[in-house]
């Protein structure tokens, strides 16, 4: 009887799932590493001291990006002062946990410090300021930040250039010359750090539309003329559950990668409808949210040129969506406020495990 029990026990042990076969027990990071895909999240270094935040981040992701502390408003509080401390904390966390760092961002019309946004600069002065800024920041993080969103959100929905401090108010001397100011920023960036990958990043450019067409035409022109651009970031901020706007994501990705560019999903979240109390309006929306994450992730893993998938934060506890929508939308990320994985997390993990 004892020998029979031992044989049955041995058979039971052999039939148990192994560490490699039990894919659903593995983290997003483990699955992404197998695919050689970067899986990341935007982070706030001020929250690294919160144990669940730091533990979840290190376990689930192999890439981080500073949510705000590397933008002009965070990194340059005064014209003659750079504040690298918070950004350095992001890099230190990444080094400690063997993660890559994406840089965000070197030029944007928003989140600029008051001294810059309200300053009375001539185009020549602004041009020198921008070149100095790009050079100083990129050299500081040379060898630490592997890719930069050099320029962020320059196009309107109709595909025209958005008026901004960098383009025409007052601009850097290239107003009314289309994407010439974007080109100049990329050239300065390449000179500052020749090894960093340089990206253009924008929202509402998931599918084929006038805005994504404009991004594509700019990238095509830059590649043709030797302007240093390595990739395009597709933000994927989705604040409704309608798939129509993202249904042509694969076609858009394919035309970009056909130019020899990388594509990164850079800021994904999917806002859900909320009651005034902050509760979900419809629990079924969690499954609909999961399917949108599943769709975008599937397109990415099926396109060889899609090298990274990143969410804008990772816990609903700190999502920007409720503030942006004045409480109408929220619960947009992979983990809930208590860091428990949601259906969207499981959908993403299943895609990576295929």
pLDDT, tens digit, 9 for 90 and up, residues 149-180: 999 999 999 999 999 999 999 999 999 999 99
Q: Which residues contact 334 (CB under 8 A, 6 or more apart)?
A: 60, 293, 311, 314, 315, 341, 342, 344, 345, 348
Give the active site residue among 65, 67, 153, 206: 153
The predicted model scores a pTM of 0.92
Mean pLDDT of the chain: 93
The CATH fold of domain 25-353: TIM Barrel (3.20.20)
Tell me the C-alpha distance between 69 and 111, whole Å.
Answer: 10
pLDDT at 12: 34
Active site residue 55: no
Which two three-digit tokens encode residue 136?
A: 């100083």
Q: How far apart are CA 321 and CA 312, in angstroms?
A: 10
Per-residue confidence at 25, pLDDT binned at 50, 70, 90? Answer: low
Report the b/e string of 144-162 with b at 16+ CB within 10 A: bbbbbbbbbbbbeeebebe
Report whether pLDDT(348) > 80: yes
Distance CA 58, CA 60 (A): 6
Nearest C-alpha neighbor of 223 from the set 192, 193, 267, 179: 179
Exposure of 124 in the CB half-sphere (CA atoms within 13 A)? 0
Give per-residue pLDDT as tens, 230-274: 999 999 999 889 888 999 999 999 999 999 999 999 999 999 999
pLDDT over 70 percentage in the chain = 93
Percent of the chain with pLDDT over 90: 91
pLDDT tops 50 at residue 193: yes
Domain ranges across the chain = 25-353
pLDDT at residue 280 is higher than 90? yes
217 is catalytic: no
267, 291, 303, 350: which one is catalytic? 267
Query: Does 37 score more than 60 pLDDT?
Result: yes
| Close Cβ partners of 296 (under 8 Å, ≥ 6 residues apart) | 206, 236, 246, 249, 265, 268, 309
């Amino acid at each position: 009887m004892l020998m029979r029990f031992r044989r049955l026990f041995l058979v039971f042990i052999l039939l148990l799932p192994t560490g490699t076969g039990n894919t659903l027990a593995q983290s997003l990071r483990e699955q992404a590493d197998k695919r050689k895909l970067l899986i990341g999240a935007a982070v706030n270094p001020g929250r690294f001291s919160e144990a669940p935040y730091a533990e979840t981040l290190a376990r689930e992701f192999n890439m981080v990006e500073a949510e705000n502390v590397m933008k002009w408003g965070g990194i340059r509080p005064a014209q003659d002062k750079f504040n690298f401390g918070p950004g350095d904390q992001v890099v230190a966390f990444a080094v400690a946990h063997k993660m890559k760092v994406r840089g965000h961002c070197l030029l944007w019309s928003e989140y600029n410090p008051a001294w810059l946004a309200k300053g009375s600069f001539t185009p020549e002065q602004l041009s020198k300021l921008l070149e100095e800024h790009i050079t100083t920041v990129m050299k500081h993080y040379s060898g630490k930040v592997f890719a930069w969103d050099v320029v962020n959100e320059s196009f309107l929905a109709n595909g025209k250039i958005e008026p901004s401090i960098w383009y025409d108010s007052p601009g850097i001397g290239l107003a009314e010359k289309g994407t010439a100011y974007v080109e100049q920023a990329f050239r300065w960036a390449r000179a500052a750090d020749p090894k960093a990958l340089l990206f253009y990043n924008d929202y509402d450019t998931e599918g084929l539309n006038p805005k994504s067409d404009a991004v594509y035409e700019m990238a095509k022109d830059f590649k043709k003329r030797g302007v240093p651009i390595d990739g395009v970031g597709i933000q994927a901020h989705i604040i409704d559950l309608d798939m129509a706007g993202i249904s042509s994501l694969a076609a858009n990705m394919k035309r970009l990668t056909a130019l020899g560019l990388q594509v990164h999903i850079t800021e994904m979240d999917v806002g859900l409808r909320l009651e005034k109390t902050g509760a979900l309006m419809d629990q079924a929306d969690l499954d609909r949210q999961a399917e949108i994450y599943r769709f975008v992730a599937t397109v990415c893993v099926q396109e060889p040129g899609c090298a990274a998938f990143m969410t804008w934060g990772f816990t609903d506890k700190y999502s920007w969506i409720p503030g942006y929508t004045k409480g109408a939308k929220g619960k947009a990320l992979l983990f809930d406020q208590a860091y428990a994985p949601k259906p969207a997390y499981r959908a993403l993990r299943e895609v990576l495990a295929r």
